[in-house]
Every structure is written in C-alpha cells, then in structure tokens.
Amino acid sequence: MYYAAVIPLLLCLATQAWARYMCPTKCTCYLDQKGRRAVLCKEGGLVGPLNLNNVSLDTEVIKITAPDDNMNELTMSPVFQSYKKLEEIHITKSNVPQLGMHFFWGLTKLDVLNLSQNNITQPLDHNFRGLSKLKELYLDDNRIISLPSGTFRFLHELKVLSIQRNRIEELTPRIFLEVAKLRVLKLSGNHLRELNPEVFKDVQELRSLECRGCALTKLNNEIYHLLPHLTHLDLGDNEIKTLQPEDFRDLTNLKHLKLDGNQLTSIVNSTFIHQPMLKKLNLARNHIAKVSPDAFTNAYNLTELDLGHNELKNLEFLRSVADTLEILVLSGNHLKLHALRVLSEMTALKGLHLSGCGLADIHSPIFSSRLNMLDLSNNHLSSLQSEVLPSNLTELDISSNRFRGISEEVMRLLDNANNIKLENNMWSCDLCHIVPLLDRVNRSTSFREVTCSAPFAVKGKKLGAMKKNELSWCTVPSYPMSDADYFLVARDGKVGLMIAGTSVVLLVLAICGVIAALCYSRRHAAKYYTHEDQLAKEGESIFENNHSPLFCDGELSFKFPLDHGDKKISIATIDEIKKEHCITNGT
C-alpha cells in the first residue's frame, strides 16, 4: 500500500535512482543496451503465483529465469496489465504450466515474449489476445502437444515464431491463420514426420524455415511452391532418403540450405539448378557416395560446401564450383590422394577440411595456393613437404597424426600462421626431429604444449620445458604407417615380428627384413657421418650427452622424415620395403 501511494510521485521524477530504489530483493534492475529499464531475476527458487512486487511500473524489460538446479515453480497471474511500457517479457525455466486468459491484455508495446523452458502443454488463442504489436514469440522446450487452428490469430505483427523441442506430432490445418507477416518459423525437435503443405498457405512471406530433427522422411515440394521467398531452409537430422532433380525448383531465392544428418545416398544431376543464389550448402553426415558432375551447375554463388562424413570417392563434381567455392569440408570421407587432385584447381578455396580422411601421405601438390586454413587432423600423416603446402597458410591443424617432427622448411612456411594445432602426435624430442619446433617454442602456447612421446627419458614432457642441450640424438620410432600393425619394434631396436597370417608370410617378411636391414644400415652409416660434419660446423652441442651418433638407438628402424633438402634419402623403414618389394599382391 505504501508503495502504491508513492509510485505516482516518484514516477514523475523518473530518475535512474528510482529504478534502483524500486527493485525486488534478489533481482537486479538496470538500463539495458538500448537504454530501457530492465529487471532481471535469475536466482531461482520462486514459488507460487507470479508477482511483481517492487517492480517499477515503467519497467520495459522483465526477465525471470533460474539456474538449472533451482528452477522456479510459477503460475501465471494477471499482473502485467498496469505495465503499459513493457517491450519484452521473458519468463523461462519457471515451470509455468499454462497461460491465463487475456493475461497479456493491453501490452500494446510488447515486442518479445519468451516463455521457453516451461511446462506449457496447450497455448490457446486467448492467451495472446491484445498483443497486437508482438513480433517475436518463443515457446521452445515446453510440453506442447498440439496447437489448435488459429492459436496465433491475434498476433498480426508476428515475425518470428519458435516452437522448438516440444511434442507436436501434427500441424493442424490453419494453425498459422492470420499471421501472414511471419518471416521466421522454427519447428525443430518436434516429431512431425511430414510437413503438410496446406498449413503453409497462411505464411507465404516466410524467409526462414527450420525443421531439424522432425523425423521427416520425404519432402513435399508443394511446400516450396508456397514459399517462394525462402532464403534459409534447415531440414537437418531428418530421415530424407532422396532428392529429386527439381525438388527445389521453386526456391529460387535460397541462400542457405542444410540437409546434414539425413539418409541421402546420391546427389543427382540438376538438383540445385534453380538456386543461383545458394551460398551455403550443408550435406554432411549422409551416405552420399555419388554426386553428379552437373549437380552444382548454375550454383554460381556457392561459397561454402560441407560434404563431411559421407562416402565420397570421387570429387570430379567440384570442377563446376572450382571458381567460387571458398570453404570446403570433406572430413570423414575416406579419400585417396588421386581423388584429391581436383582440389588443386579450386582457385578460390580459402578453407579446406580433410580431417579423418585416412590420408597417410601427401606427396603431390593438391592444395591451391590461396588456401589460408587447412585441417589435416586425425589422419595418418608422418611428414609434410614444403612443396605441397600452400604458401599463405594462417591456420593449420595437424593434430592426431603420426608426426615425429616438422622440418625447418615447413616451419618457415608457417612462420606467418597464427593458429597451428599440433597436439596428439608422436613427437620425438631429439635432435633429428624437434629442433625447428624447439627453436620457435616461444612463438605460441600450442608449441609449448607439444608433448614428447619419445625418447623414453623425456616422454610426457612439454616442449616448453625442454632445453636444446637436453635433446638426445635419435630415437626409435614406433611405426608410423598404417600397415605397421604387422610389426612390433621393441625399444632396444630388435625387430619382433607379429604376423597375422600364415607361416609363409612370416618367412617372406623375415627375408625382406634382413635385406632391408642390410641395405639400410649401409646407407645409414653414411648418413650419420654427413650429419656429424654438418652439425659440428654449426657448433651444436650434441656430443655433450652420452649418445654417440654412431651408436644411435634403434638405427635399424630409423627414419628421417625431416631431412633438410639435399638428396631424398631412401628411407628404409621396413614396412616401406615390404610394400615395395614383397607383398605387393595383397595382405
């Protein structure tokens, strides 16, 4: 009563101090970014009918929410009617079970009503009566089972309607009656199974439609006929199996299309022939094995294409977008190097994702020179040559591969890169592998965080904690190639053979091993001498520790992926010799 009496007086003053004075305990009152008076109550634990005691009548924004472990238990009550200035109401995480009749009556300035994360089961048209200016309505994460025809018919100005993650199984005819100005409709996470074209007759101005995870099995292209202005369409995580050549015929304004997480197996000729504006296309996580060479003709504006986690083998279709595509995701497709050759023709490409593609070696130049961002993580790579790397990289991800070191040339190429991911490799912290990285260790945390996995003495140590004079000469590799599983190389350099085959195979491999050992140790000894000279010249202090180069551990299986320049050393790892000379016919 006392407050009711002083309100008019203080309203006249209308000072900021007033807003601070009239603030419910456990809430904060402030001016928001747009300079509006806002009240935020987010501590939770509120129980019973909603009340706005101590909330000033000229409040423009009300936000009532709660932390996950202390949700409110509110019921709605007709408290808003004297708050004529309200522009936004957010009552979320409050377990509100239903909305009362005409409770928002008279809020002619209300723009945004957010009732997400409550327990509403059935909104009715009279709940929203009087909200003649409402532009955005959010009812996400409730328990709405059905929406009767005309539920939103008093919301003539509604532009955004979001009813995601409820329990709606059917869109009733005329559900969108009289919301003809609707631009954005979000229905994701409702088990709808199909979209009835009939209901979209009322919302032909739609620009954006989302129905992700709606259990849709097919598309009815009559819908698109009704929605010619659509620019964004998200139908990801459904069960769509096929796209017909001209399915999207009517969507000539489409800019972003998401069909990721469906069950498509191929993209046929002319699928996107009517989408000259298409910029971003997401087809990730399907079972696409084949894309017609003409699938993207006319997609002049396609700049981002995600085909990750499909079953692609052939990439010839990329030729038709070679001049425009800027970002391409092919991660999670098992791709052969020869299939990737087409990438070198993609002159506009800036970002390329080839994570988890089963790549073991990249020896021919497949990257266009303009590439800035390259993701090669989760492959089986053990070395990169500077000739194949694009010269302008700013971002490189080679985490989760089999790198033991990076050569000086490659490091020099990367000196302008600002984001290099290196973790989870087989970094050998010895003089043969890690020096170029160690020299730059202070450049970034990702270098300092590089964790040595060999030699044993420094295993687990971070590069940031290493000193150059701690480095030992060379270490035993674990086999980097994927077919190395046939061998187990013991730390002391003995080659133990684990053969998953017949004893015949064992014999053949053993002979190969001997030949390899012989050839290799000869070349290798020579190599050590040259290295010794070179290093002595450079004044390296490698002789300070006990490892004499001539008695390098595990010389038999030694590998130099990083030798600078001169001749290509024939790297005599056993598995390569095996590959070249022995079991070419299939194991």
Ligand X SMILES: *[C@@H]1O[C@H](CO)[C@@H](O)[C@H](O)[C@H]1NC(C)=O
Q: Are 437 and 462 in contact (CB under 8 A)?
A: no
79 vs 499 by CB, closer to ligand X: 79
CA dihedral 38, 166, 43, 30 (to 10 degrees): -10
Q: Tell me which residue of 296, 326, 327, 329 sits closest to 312, measured CA to CA.
A: 329
Cβ-based nearer residue to ligand X, 115 or 307: 115
Q: Closest separation between CB of residue 371 and ligand X, Å?
A: 8
Between 439 and 485, CB nearer to ligand X? 439
Cα distance between residue 233 and residue 223, in whole Å: 12
Q: How far is the CB of 50 from ligand X (least distance, A)?
A: 12
Q: Which is nearer to ligand X, 119 or 587 (CB)?
A: 119
* Shortest CB 441 distance to ligand X, Å: 5
Bridge partners, 454 (sequence order): 428
CB of 304 to ligand X, least distance (A): 13
Q: Supply the minimum distance, in Å, between the C-beta of residue 387 and ligand X.
A: 14
Which CB atom, from 160 or from 571, has the smaller least distance to ligand X?
160
- Residues contacting residue 526 through CB under 8 Å, at least 6 positions apart: none
**Bond prior to 455 in cis (omega within 30° of 0):** yes
User: Please, what is the minimum distance in Å from the beta carbon of residue 121 to ligand X?
Assistant: 5
* Residue recorded with tokens 């191929």: 266
Binding site for ligand X (CB under 6 A): 24-25, 53-54, 65, 90, 92, 95, 97, 114, 116-117, 119, 121, 138, 269-270, 276-277, 292-294, 300-301, 369-370, 391-392, 439, 441-442
- What is d(CA 203, CA 226) in angstroms, rounded to the nearest whole number? 8
CB of 249 to ligand X, least distance (A): 13
Output the smallest distance, CB 365 to ligand X, in A: 13
First-to-final CA distance of the chain: 89
Give the residue with the Cβ less far from ligand X, 238 or 407: 407
- For residue 286, the minimal CB distance to ligand X (Å) is 20
Write down the least CB distance from residue 21 to ligand X, Å. 8
Q: How many CB atoms lie within 10 A of CB 551?
A: 10
With respect to ligand X, which residue has the nearer C-beta, 116 or 428? 116
Residue 272 or 479 having the CB closest to ligand X: 272
Q: Are 303 and 288 in contact (CB under 8 A)?
A: no
* Residue 53 main-chain phi, psi, to 5 deg: -55, 135
Phi/psi zone of residue 516: left (φ > 0), alpha (ψ -120 to 50 degrees), beta? alpha
Of 279 and 531, the one with the shorter C-beta distance to ligand X is 279
Tell me whether residue 119 or residue 478 sits nearer to ligand X (CB atom): 119
DSSP 8-class letter at 267: E
Contact 160, 137 (CB under 8 A): yes
CB proximity list for 179: less than 8 A, separation 6 or greater: 152, 153, 155, 156, 158, 161, 202, 203
Query: Minimal CA–CA distance to 141: which of 177, 103, 91?
Result: 91
Alpha-helical segments (H) within 368-434: 408-413
Cβ proximity of 356 and 376 under 8 Å: no
Task: Specify the residue, 90 or 531, whose C-beta has the smaller distance to ligand X.
Answer: 90
CB of residue 367 vs ligand X: minimum separation in angstroms?
A: 11
**113 Cβ neighbours under 8 A, 6+ residues apart:** 88, 89, 104, 128, 131, 134, 136, 137, 138
